[in-house]
Chains A and B, each alone.
Chain A
Amino acid sequence: MNQLLRFLIVILPILIVVFFAKVLLVDEEIKFANFEAKNFPAFQMNDLSGNPVKAESLDGIKLVNVWASWCVTCLVEHPFLTKLSKNDIEIIGLNYKDADSKANAWLQKHGNPYLFSIYDPRGDLAFDLGVTGAPESYLLINNKVIGHIQGEMNQIKWETAFLPLIEKAKQGS
């Protein structure tokens, strides 16, 4: 009995440390794994040039990137998005709580990696999507949201979170 107790006293703290280390260190992966696919919310909006956006334009494999001209981190991820848009995936912008004149000027200055950008000055569509701030990125397959990343998009997040999902979807279809 005593031996069992001694054993427990040693093993319990170790288990606790392992448990918390796991929760703290791998939470990003858990987040991706637990993302429940949902339909892209219905919307009626214009793009930054003032043309209405058709729901069909979200078909196929698309990356929806939430950005704004006031958002500093968006500038940080901008070169990577530009690179992605050239070879890997089509990107649609969701211009979030911005003024169209400022947004267009920003695109002119830094370059435009987006097929088009949905203009969402009040953040209505963003709210339905569950956007908490800019930048955020959503992975869409045929109008279904299957992945979500908060904050800057970069090589590591792209490879660990989105690429496997895209490959899985391609195999499935």
Chain B
Amino acid sequence: MKIKKLLVAIYFFSLSTPVFNQTVYEFEDSLQEKRFYELISEIRCPKCTSGSIASSDAPVSRDLKSKVYQLVLDGSTDEEIKQYVSERFGDFSDYRPPLKGFNYFLWFGPFIFLVLISAIFFIKRRI
């Protein structure tokens, strides 16, 4: 009986995704490896509502990861790699949108809002 349960458990474990996920990235040194994993967690999956390519197994994310891997091995800088990706997939692809145009509102909007709200509370307490 116990063996049967064990076999069932093994069967279900064998269906879990890590078994099918056979992409292994090998690096020349640990710095490259560190950069690669940082980059893929900072590049947004173009096919997902929200999530980095590190967290996604969508076909386009797989392509992006292997491209980033290639570029890291070829010696491109982080900036060059992000530039390369955003040229193709737009500013949307970077989880840290560049400081320009409407993005100023994106970056500083919350702080402006915070100052406004605390000003209201401050004034209200004095009355």
Give the chain A neighbours of B88 by CB distance below 8 A: 127-130
Give the chain B neighbours of A127 by CB distance below 8 A: 63, 67, 88
> Hey, what's the 0/1 contact readout for B59-89 against A, CB within 8 Å counting as 1?
1100100010000000000000000000111
Give the chain B neighbours of A130 by CB distance below 8 A: 46, 88-90
Q: Which of A1, A8, A131 contacts B60 (CB 8 A)?
A: A131
Give the chain B neighbours of A1 by CB distance below 8 A: 123, 127
Give the chain A neighbours of B59 by CB distance below 8 A: 97, 123, 133
Q: Chain B interface residue count: which class? A: 10 to 19
In the complex, which residues 24-78 of chain B have their Cβ closer than 8 Å to any Cβ of chain A?
46-47, 58-60, 63, 67
Q: Does A5 contact B (CB under 8 A)?
A: yes
Q: Chain A interface residue count: which class? A: 10 to 19
Contact A133/B67 with A1-B123, A1-B127, A2-B127 known, Cβ cut-off 8 Å: no
Binding site for A on B (CB under 8 A): 46-47, 58-60, 63, 67, 87-90, 120, 123-124, 127
Binding site for B on A (CB under 8 A): 1-2, 5, 8, 36, 38, 97, 123, 127-133
Pairs of residues from A and B, 8 with the lowest C-beta to C-beta distance, nearest first: A130-B88, A132-B46, A132-B47, A132-B60, A130-B89, A127-B63, A133-B47, A5-B124
